[in-house]
Amino acid sequence: MKTFGLKASLLLIAILVFTDCLNVEGQVCHPSGKIRGKKPPPGECNQGNDSDCCKEGKLYTTYKCSPTASSHTKAYLTLNGFEKDEDGGAPSECDNQYHSDDTPVVALSTGWYNKGSRCLNNITITANGRSVVAMVVDECDSTMGCDSDHDYQPPCANNIVDASRAVWKALGVPQDQWGGLDITWTNA
């Protein structure tokens, strides 16, 4: 009888650990609020790389979190300019520098950026049957936007990997298809 009780207890513990792991993997990031768009002053919204400008009065969803990162985190790859006077705006958050678009660098949504904990670390991005290693140099702000600090662009969604041209080239995506692509990524 003792053996049965011990086996039942171990089985129950294993089930609880397994279901807890499923809960972590399936955690959902809920919106944290909304901001109202402001019309950018003339010439103040850089629309390079097909970037959007905020629309007067439109409500934009904000996030303080991102989906849980895993060994195969699903994300949406976007195109960003990391050089001076491009749609990335200011120098990168991680090192206060601009970066060549011919270098594989990325900005991560606020939750994944995690207050800079991934700064200057590499991630591996996989899509289109290929992988590329890129360095995290910036945050794609999911909490703010539609102001001069954010080049009058809306806040990023919570699942964005905003990448330089070099990343898109390395993934073998034809240039006329650059801008948005479903990917997976992991810490390198």
Flag whether pLDDT at 106 surpasses 70. yes
The whole-number pLDDT of residue 36 equals 94
The whole-number pLDDT of residue 78 equals 94
Flag whether pLDDT at 153 surpasses 60. yes
Comparison of pLDDT for 179 and 17, the residue scoring more = 179
Flag whether pLDDT at 43 surpasses 90. no
Residue type, 151: D
End-to-end CA distance of the chain: 49
CB count in 10 Å sphere of residue 110: 24
Which of 13-17, 148-152, 169-173 tops mean pLDDT?
169-173
* Predicted TM-score (pTM) of this structure: 0.81
The whole-number pLDDT of residue 187 equals 96
User: Which of 21-35, 51-65, 149-163 shows the lowest per-residue confidence on average (mean pLDDT)?
Assistant: 21-35
Flag whether pLDDT at 116 surpasses 50. yes
pLDDT band with cut points at 50, 70 and 90 for residue 185: very high
Q: Whole-angstrom Cα distance, residue 168 to residue 84?
A: 19
Comparison of pLDDT for 39 and 10, the residue scoring more = 39
